[in-house]
Amino acid sequence: MKLYLSSSSRRLISSAVLVLGTGFFSACSIRLPTTAANETKKEAPPLYQWWGDELSGPAAIKINLDEQKATIYRGGAEAGWTILASGTTRHPTPSGTFYVMEKIQDKVSNMYGVITNELGEVVNSDAKAGVTPVPAGCRFVGAQMPYWMRITSYGVGLHAGDIPEPGLPASHGCIRLPRDFAGTLYNVVDVGSRVTITGTGQYNAPLGNGRPQTAQSRTSDTTPAPGLSVASLR
């Protein structure tokens, strides 16, 4: 038996099939996973590790400028390590053997900082006291350097600070430490603790990246410059 449909009926059935088919494929397309949804976020490598709380004895620090890394010892035993940020090409960190000369927990630089306007807004983020012009109505604000440990008479020391790109120098000559770790190191270091700095930092690159970064170093002289005292420097 043959079933005969009118033209209007055939058009109605065709429209219904088209609508159902479109809905089916739309529903399927919603279930398709996207590449972005399946991507897993890689964790950043740690900036430091510390296992020295159970150790005792004098603290000593060995800094490698080429690796932008410091190894800490207590009583001659390795107590931990940390990534750091040393001086850039324009402001190189000295190499040599030094000793901690002073410790100040809440240090403010009297050499480097920013210039702010009357509203407290930063108008110059890289200012040097007595060198960078200060516009009318503005003022120089020294950089915060918590957990300051001085190692030279001319203003170089270790302290908490930003490490913008781990593996690359970033400071004005000081050794910046991760903010979460600086306090731990500060508490085990004493005035007189030895700090040994090696390397040149000429071929530094970000961690996990082969891009070169040139930096220079200078040989240290721990003798105070003529006419200057430790108290007069940052």
Domain-wise residue ranges, the chain:
48-232
Strand residues in the chain grouped as ranges (E): 48-50, 59-64, 69-74, 77-83, 94-99, 102-116, 122-128, 139-150, 157-160, 175-177, 194-198, 218-219
Given a contact cutoff of 8 angstroms between Cβ atoms, the answer to whether 75 and 86 are in contact is no
With CA atoms as reference, report the closest residue to 83 among 213, 179, 157, 10: 179
Give Rg (Cα) of the chain: 30
Q: What is the pTM of this model?
A: 0.68
For the stretch 140-197, pLDDT in tens is 998 889 999 999 999 999 999 999 999 999 999 999 999 999 999 999 999 999 999 9
Say which CATH architecture domain 48-232 belongs to: Beta Barrel (2.40)
For the stretch 18-75, pLDDT in tens is 545 555 444 444 455 555 555 566 788 899 999 999 999 999 999 999 999 999 999 9
With CA atoms as reference, report the closest residue to 176 among 97, 96, 112: 112
Given a contact cutoff of 8 angstroms between Cβ atoms, the answer to whether 116 and 124 are in contact is no
